[in-house]
Amino acid sequence: MEMRLSNNLSQNFSLQLATSLALEQGVEQMHEMVKAHQANLTHSGFIGEAKNHFLKANKKGFFDKNLPDSHFLKNDKNLLERTISYAARRHLGEYRESGFPYLAHVLSTGYILARLGFPREIILSGILHDTVEDAPDKTKTLNELYALMPSIAYYVYSVSGPDIKDSVEKDKQLHNRLHTFSDNAQSLFPQAIKVADGLANLYDITSMQPKDGRTSAERQALFMAKMKTLLLPYAAAIDEKNLIPVKKKKEVFSLFEFLKDSIEEKNLHP
């Protein structure tokens, strides 16, 4: 007997699958784009190409039709360009353990937020999420982010870890900071940025090298455990608050399911 999905299950599966594939392909394309232009990442040609990649991901037709134009990146394309350019200059010469320029990671973080329809300032904060944590002069960097948009400085600082080497204690303090800033802003946007950061990190987790007394396998296991214990609850809370406006008729997208599937896929294919 042929098995058929119910109409409701079929519809939910179609939206979840289509959006999941769009996210995975978009991150892959971002990495390819950065790699192709790695000798000229601050050039206007690359900045324009990256900007267009974001705008295609953030088209209003993907989302709840009641969202205002001010919610989207197209509302200020110049600010999007300046944000990408700032990230490109800030991370110039920095590389991931995978060999990709670091810029690929932060742009991928922003891309995930863009394709999921988060507000414009949250997407831009995702692009800039690592600019403060690693900055030698954090006050100067925060002032520069404030000049781009005050809320960007707030959200980037909310997801910036403290200057301590112990990774467990660092994660604990960052977790507390996320909740403090979320309570103050009365939103889960800091958690959304961290989930997008985690998803972007999955792209090159298999390239982790031995570090700080841990083997590659130990570092990978620690990261995957963090994804499950910290980020999955964040994703579940974001779903519960209906913060993701990806919609198609009565369908909605589940960030929790996408994150869970992404973790399981990496566990199956290390």
Encode pLDDT of 31-83 as tens digits: 999 999 999 999 999 999 999 999 999 999 999 999 999 999 999 999 999 99
CATH number for the domain harbouring residue 161: 1.10.3210.10
- pLDDT per residue as tens digits for the range 141-164: 999 999 999 999 999 999 998 888
If one counts every other C-beta atom within 10 angstroms of the C-beta of residue 224, the result is: 17
Query: pLDDT value at position 108?
Result: 98
> Does a structural domain hold residue 7?
no
Per-residue pLDDT band for 4 (boundaries 50, 70, 90) equals: very low
Per-residue pLDDT band for 91 (boundaries 50, 70, 90) equals: very high
> 7-21, 163-177, 224-238: lowest mean pLDDT where?
7-21
User: Residue 9 pLDDT > 90, yes or no?
Assistant: no
Query: pLDDT value at position 13?
Result: 62
Per-residue pLDDT band for 250 (boundaries 50, 70, 90) equals: confident
If one counts every other C-beta atom within 10 angstroms of the C-beta of residue 193, the result is: 27
Per-residue pLDDT band for 1 (boundaries 50, 70, 90) equals: very low
> Does a structural domain hold residue 2?
no
Phi, psi of 132 (to 5 degrees): -85, -45
> Does a structural domain hold residue 24?
yes
> Does a structural domain hold residue 5?
no
For range 209-231, the mean pLDDT: 90
> Does a structural domain hold residue 255?
yes
User: Residue 27 pLDDT > 70, yes or no?
Assistant: yes
CA separation for the pair 207, 203 (Å, rounded):
9
CA separation for the pair 40, 33 (Å, rounded):
11
Domain containing 160 equals 12-268
> Does a structural domain hold residue 37?
yes
> Does a structural domain hold residue 3?
no
93: Cβ contacts below 8 Å, ≥ 6 apart = none
Query: pLDDT value at position 228?
Result: 93
> Does a structural domain hold residue 192?
yes
Q: The whole model's pTM is what?
A: 0.93
- Look at the chain and report how many structural domains it folds into: 1
